[in-house]
Amino acid sequence: MAASDEDVDLESEQYEKHREAGEILAQVREETADRVEVGASHLEIAEYAEDRIRELGGKPAFPVNISIDEEAAHATPSIDDDSTFGEEMINLDIGVHVDGWLADTAITVDLSGNPELAEASEQALEAALDVIEPGVNTGDIGAEIEDVINGYGYNPVVNLTGHGLGHWEQHTGPNIPNRAVSQGTTLEVGDVVAIEPFATDGGGKVTEGASEEIFALEHEGSVRNRQARDALDQITDEFRTLPFATRWLETDRPEMALRRLKRNSIVHGYPVLKEDDGHLVSQKEHTIIVTPDGCEVTTKSR
């Protein structure tokens, strides 16, 4: 959180890197969404976006999330994934970092014939952005999101939130709720946060599934197994504390290496999150910097 308005230099190097990450990400989001169609490969779409981020001078802040229908987060293709898109609701959640300074964005590509559900999360995000300024309470932002989604006849996903973005930290305070809460946090000039409404035609809660393809470093440690050591060297050097995919690991037998690292509590996994009732979920997300007169959307299309 920012100390005071006078202490914050929004032209400093860290904010310029946040902006650079956001500019790359806005371009990659649009290009990637344009490639989503029935029959397209999940793995090819994810690798396209991740490679494009690197081509444009950034690095992926986390594996591209491709969440289908009732999935809300943490779904990414496996090493040899042969899944293709059908007539489904598809959420793309993509992140970029420049020297550890992050931007995070998401968009729903609806191939399921439910455009109003996609529109609900998009309009909820617009309403949230309209009220952001120094001194706004995050509970009031959540109230705007909830009001718009309910107005479409849907429910917000209440146990997922927007979040702050730190240096090499994908999720930090403050949380930005997707519903009205009585005890929120006050935003200040210089805060960098991701606002991400989720809308559903279900009850509005997600639970953990069994599948895990995304992991992150819990703490550094030592392991005997060569593959696990090789994986840990790559994780600490390349990804640090940011999430990574099994398919990013360059060691032999990466799944076995991750099992060993997880058993030793060196890494933790991110199970796929699914809507509790099995209903559709849409998502829209932008990253913003709180400014003296409102907010700057770093991930807006240019």
Report the catalytic residues: 93, 104, 163, 171, 196, 285
Q: Is 57 helix (H, G, I), strand (E, B) or coil?
A: coil
Residues 6+ apart with CB under 8 A from 11: none
Copy the structure tokens of residue 12.
Answer: 């400093």
Sheet of 281-283, strand order? 155-156, 198-200, 281-283
Sheet of 267-275, strand order? 71-73, 267-275, 206-217, 244-245
Residues 6+ apart with CB under 8 A from 109: 33, 36, 90, 91, 92
Task: With beta carbons less than 8 A apart as the criterion, state whether 49 and 70 touch.
Answer: no
Distance in angstroms (rounded) separating the CA atoms of residues 178 and 198: 7
Residue with tokens 């107005």: 151
| Closest to 61 (Cα-Cα) out of 293, 287, 268 | 287
